[in-house]
Amino acid sequence: MLLEQNLIIAAMQRHSLTFWWLVACWVSVFNKLIRRYKYLEKGFEDEVKKLLLFLKGFSESERNKLAMLTGILLANGTLNASILNSLYNENLVKEGVSAAFAVKLFKSWINEKDINAVASSLRRVNMDNRLMELFPANKQSVEHFMKYFTEAGLKELSEYVRNQQTIGARKELQKELQEQMSRGDPFKDIILYVKEEMKKNNISEQTVIGIIWSSVMSTVEWNKKEELVAEQAIKHLKQYSPLLAAFTTQGQSELTLLLKIQEYCYDNIHFMKAFQKIVVLFYKAEVLSEEPILKWYKDAHLAKGKSVFLEQMKKFVEWLKNAEEESGSDSEEGD
C-alpha cells in the first residue's frame, strides 16, 4: 500500500488547479482498482488511517488538500467514515490539527453530497455522537462546536451536532425518568431533576411534557380488556397528575399533552373510549385548562381518530363554553 500513500502525497504537492485535475484522475483510478480488486478496499482504508495519524508531518497546505481529497473519497464511497477515528488522536486534538482538518474534510464531503448523506454515513459507524471529540475535553461543548464550525462556514454541520446532542439528552432524560418512577422517587425530586436537565440542555417544556407522558404510560402493564383499562388509566394518571401539572405551565404545553393523549389513545385501541375521561381528569386536576381544550376541539386536533374523539368531547366542550359564558356574565354584573 506504499504506492497509494505516495500517489496521494504526490497529488498534494502540485499547484491547486493541477491538484483538482489530479484529484479527479486519482479518484477515478482508485474507484476502478477497488471495484476490480475488492481486497484493496481494506488495505487502502488502512493506509489512509495511517496518513491521518501523521498529519503533523504535512504542511498546512498539504493537510488542506488531503482533507479535501478525503472528503471526496468519503462522498463517493471509496472510503468508510470509520477512518475519522484517526482524527481523535490525543496529540492531533490537543494541537487543533484535528478540528482544522475536519473543517476542510466536511466542506468537501458536504459539497459533493449533502448533510443528510454525511449524517447517514456517520451513523453507520457510530460516529454521529463523537464529533465534539475533535476538541480537547475542556472545549467539548455544543456551544464551542457550533461557534467554531459555523464561523468556518459549516452551519449545517453545527446544527446537525446540536440536534444530535438534544436527541441524546432527551433519550437520557426519558431513561432516567423511568428509573426514578420505578423507584418511586418523590415528585419534588423528579421535578427538580427535570428542570435542571431542561436548563442544561435547552429542552422546551413542550418537549418535556411529551417525554413525561410517555414515561408515565410506560410504567404500567395495561389491562387488555377495554372496559377495565379506562378505570386503571384514571387511577394511574390521577397519581401522576402533580408531576404532569408542573410541566403544563404554558398553553402550548397543554396542547402538546392533549395531542399526545389523542395519539396514544388512537394507537392503543383499548384506550379509544378512555380519551374523554383522561381529559376531564386532567382538567379537574389542573393539568389542563379550558382554553387549550377548546382550541384542540376547534382546530388543533390530529386526524387520528378525529370523529371518535370529537364526539366523546362534545358534551364536555359544551359545558366548558357555557361555564365560560356564565363566568363572563358574572364578571360584567360585578363591574
| Residue 33 in grid coordinates | 482498482
Measure the CA–CA gap between 215 and 206, rounded to whole angstroms. 15
In order of their start, the domains of the chain are 204-324 (1.25.40.180)
Q: What is the pLDDT of residue 23?
A: 59
Q: What is the pLDDT of residue 15?
A: 41
Please work out, in degrees rounded to the nearest 5, the angle formed at the alpha carbon of residue 258 by the alpha carbons of 257 and 260: 60
DSSP tag of 305? T
Name the stretches of the chain with pLDDT < 70. 1-41, 324-335
| Residue 309 in grid coordinates | 374523539
Q: What is the pLDDT of residue 328?
A: 55
Measure the CA–CA gap between 285 and 238, rounded to whole angstroms. 8
CA neighbor of 21 nearest in space, from 57, 60, 69, 67: 69
DSSP reduced 3-state for 289: coil
| Residue 284 in grid coordinates | 379537574
Burial of 242 per CB tally in 10 Å (0-12, 13-18, 19+): middle
Q: Which distant-in-sequence residues (6+ apart) come within 8 Å of 28 by Cβ?
A: none
Helix (H) or strand (E) holding 12: helix 2-12
Measure the CA–CA gap between 216 and 220, rounded to whole angstroms. 8
Q: What is the pLDDT of residue 33?
A: 65
Q: What is the pLDDT of residue 252?
A: 95
Q: What is the pLDDT of residue 238?
A: 96
Q: What is the pLDDT of residue 44?
A: 77
Only one residue has cell 479527479, namely 24
Q: Are 121 and 105 in contact (CB under 8 A)?
A: no
Torsion angle of the four alpha carbons 247, 251, 252, 257, in this order, in degrees rounded to the nearest 10: 60
Amino acid at 123: R
Measure the CA–CA gap between 176 and 171, rounded to whole angstroms. 9
Q: Are 91 and 121 in contact (CB under 8 A)?
A: no
Count of alpha carbons within 13 angstroms of residue 116, beta-carbon side: 0
Gyration radius of the chain's alpha carbons? 28
Q: Which own/partner pairs from 228-237 qualify as long-range (CB within 8 Å, at least 24 positions apart)?
A: 229/270, 229/271, 229/274, 230/271, 230/273, 230/274, 230/277, 233/271, 233/274, 233/277, 233/278, 234/274, 234/277, 234/278, 234/281, 237/278, 237/281, 237/282
Measure the CA–CA gap between 122 and 131, rounded to whole angstroms. 10
CA neighbor of 177 nearest in space, from 244, 239, 225: 244
Q: What is the pLDDT of residue 17?
A: 44
Q: Which distant-in-sequence residues (6+ apart) come within 8 Å of 177 by Cβ?
A: 190, 194, 211, 212, 215
Q: Are 34 and 80 in contact (CB under 8 A)?
A: no
